[in-house]
Amino acid sequence: MQRLKAKIRAWIQKLRRTFFRVFFNEYHKSLSGKEGQQRISTIYHWLRDNAHENEVRRIKETMDIHPTVRWGLDTLFYGEGTISIGADTYLGRHCFVVAHPKGTKITIGAHCAISHNIHIRTQKHRHEFHLKDERAMPSLGDDIIIGDYVWIGANVFICDGVTIGENSIIGANSVVTHDIPPNSVCGGIPAKVLWSKHKYRSQAQGGENSTSEKP
């Protein structure tokens, strides 16, 4: 009787191994070719998008971020400071919003359009002669404030202590090291005010002050 039971168990194990071998061989075949690549792509994007949605939900629960705020894949929010973002603001992909060290704050207003690969960082350096000396000291940082309706182009770096006035535009590839007045068009390294929106509107309307004079 024991011998019969052992034969039955061996037969079941063999049948199980055969089933899984056939199943995975057929599954592997189904993934080959164009149709298989499409299946893999669909699965990958589904997993990626679900992970992103879960991360967005987690961040909104732990930070002062309005429910209508959206951001692209691989955008990170972190640091021991605080981060606040107003309604209907959007951030693109691969952005870094870093409030560090503790006690610093990043405030981003409502209805802002922030493009891809933007760095917003409150931490600053002491400019010690040797990096070894600086790394041994506590971190320093200053708050960053971005007003409402600000449009920031791609690849912009916003440094510590900066305030960007509302309704301003920061051109792509700029490094913002000092305050930007409201209603300004800025760009460059370091970013400078290139134009005032008041004069731009005057020129667009063909007014008397329609000159290229800088503010």
Confidence of residue 190 (pLDDT cuts 50, 70, 90): very high
Note the pLDDT tens digit of each residue in 118-162: 999 999 876 666 677 777 777 788 999 999 999 999 999 999 999
**Secondary structure (DSSP) of 27-93:** HHHHTSHHHHHHHHHHHHHHHHHHHHHHHHHHHHHHSEE-TT-EE-TT-EEESSSEEEE-TT-EE-S
38 assigned to some structural domain: no
CATH code for position 88: 2.160.10.10
Q: How many domains does the chain have?
A: 1
Q: Is residue 56 part of a domain?
A: no
Would 19 be classed as within a structural domain? Answer: no
Peptide bond into 182 cis (omega under 30): no
Q: What is the pTM of this model?
A: 0.75
Find the domain containing 75 and state its range.
65-204
The mean pLDDT value of the chain amounts to: 85
For 82-102, write each residue's pLDDT tens digit. Answer: 999 999 999 999 999 999 999
> 187 lies in a domain?
yes
Residues marked active site are found at 125
Assigned domain for 213 exists: no
